[in-house]
Amino acid sequence: MEELQDQQNQSDGQDAESEIIAESSSFVHGEVPQDGNGPPKVDSEVEVLHEKVTKQIIKEGHGQKPSRYSTCFLHYRAWTESTQHKFDDTWLEQRPLEMVLGKEKKEMTGLGIGVYSMKSGERALLHVHWELGYGKEGNFSFPNVPPMADILYEVELIGFDETQEGKARSDMTVEERISAADRRKMDGNAFFKEEKLEEAMQQYEMAIAYMGDDFMFQLFDKYRDMALAVKNPCHLNMAACLIKLRRYEEAIAQCSIVLVEDENNVKALFRRGKARAELGQTDAAREDFNKARKFAPEDKAIPRELRLLAEHDKAVYQKQKELYKGLFGPRPEPKPKPTSRLILIWQWLLSLFYRLFRIERLKAE
């Protein structure tokens, strides 16, 4: 097992906070768009890629562009332009599309032209004429696209692989897929060392794409163990990147995926606890840290995080105490009610009557 160290290593050794696990060499999401209802509003320059395909860049990418027969992994959402009806969304399904350029389905021709022009990490809005989409007939099954419908695609190219020319994941052997995923993971580790977190996450996403659910369900015994030895570290590395980027909800999701396979994974528990603590979910964070400490009692990072939670709870209590004190103040002392003049006169008359009564009684005796 090899370990990629975070730059925050402590002098007391390696702990669950300071390392990114990269054991020897599904779920892919990308950064989900904020508004999933309608197409994004884009102000960037319109680039004509084809007489029937145009592109507007939403987010710049990096590196090279894919070539013919590259295996590309991408997320996209698609709408019919006239009705703004969304008919497909891989972000929602949490499953990227794998496309071998030059071998894409006929209805994906316009989308393929757009992907040819993109760099890894780039997100763009594509306008595709119906002739390069679902055509004159449309599609009346899933996805449901009406006839002669122009299409809007919001697409993000996660990355691409040219090592297996024109070879889709489904055509690879188990060993080839695991090896391809491991190469991506190691590339991600190299980017992480350089603090290029977005680039690192793209590589981890690519690695995880090779280990999709359809693939994992077919594996048993040593092959499943081999695949998990690549897949789970990628999720943990993703979580570490996301915590650094303060995308805590996404970090929690990555850790939870690992915990489905390995409920006692210390690093997954620790990092999920860190993310939950940052979101103010102190009870859930404490539960994760305590469980992690059970399986790693000598890890010094875990009690440190528990102390921070205790200090946080104490600080919150003091603030609440001061707040309530300021709102309500000290309880006022009861003040004697003033006696009215009428009552005083009545009391004086009763006292006078009582004295006269006693005098008369004494005379009678």
Q: pLDDT digits over 159-189, tens only?
A: 988 755 556 777 888 999 999 899 999 999 9
| DSSP annotation of 68 | T
Question: Would you say 257 and 27 are in contact if contact means Cβ atoms under 8 Å apart?
Answer: yes
Per mean pLDDT, which range of 104-108, 111-115, 354-358 is the poorest? 354-358
Listed in sequence order, the residues at least 6 apart from 19 whose beta carbon sits closer than 8 Å to its beta carbon are: 3, 4, 5, 6, 9, 267
> What are 3's two structure tokens?
């370990």
What's the length of the chain?
A: 365
Per mean pLDDT, which range of 165-174, 181-190, 279-288, 325-334 is the poorest? 325-334
Q: Which pLDDT score is estimated for 172? A: 85
Q: Would you say residue 142 has pLDDT above 80?
A: yes
Cα angle 245, 251, 256; round to 5? 175
Average pLDDT of 187-192?
94
Q: How far apart are CA 53 and CA 58, in angstroms?
A: 16
Indicate the class that CATH gives domain 47-161: alpha beta
Burial readout 9-43 (b: 16 or more C-beta within 10 A, e: otherwise): eeeeeebbbbbbbbeebbbbbbbebeeeeebeeee
Helical spans, DSSP H, in the chain: 90-93, 109-116, 174-193, 197-210, 213-216, 221-244, 248-261, 266-278, 282-295, 301-328, 341-364
Q: Which pLDDT score is estimated for 28? A: 39
Confidence of residue 339 (pLDDT cuts 50, 70, 90): low
Question: CATH 3.10.50.40: which residues of the chain?
Answer: 47-161
| DSSP annotation of 23 | -
Indicate the class that CATH gives domain 3-28+172-312: mainly alpha
Give phi and psi for 11, each to the nearest 5.
Answer: -70, -20
Q: Which pLDDT score is estimated for 346? A: 72
To 10 degrees, the CA torsion angle through 333, 335, 336, 340? -160
Question: CATH 1.25.40.10: which residues of the chain?
Answer: 3-28+172-312
Listed in sequence order, the residues at least 6 apart from 160 whose beta carbon sits closer than 8 Å to its beta carbon are: 66, 70, 71, 72, 73, 120
Q: Would you say residue 15 has pLDDT above 50?
A: no
- Report the predicted TM-score, pTM, of the whole model to 2 decimal places: 0.67
Question: Would you say 163 and 124 are in contact if contact means Cβ atoms under 8 Å apart?
Answer: no
Look at residues 260, 238, 256 and name the one whose alpha carbon lies nearest to residue 247: 238
Q: Which pLDDT score is estimated for 63? A: 85
Q: Which pLDDT score is estimated for 259? A: 97
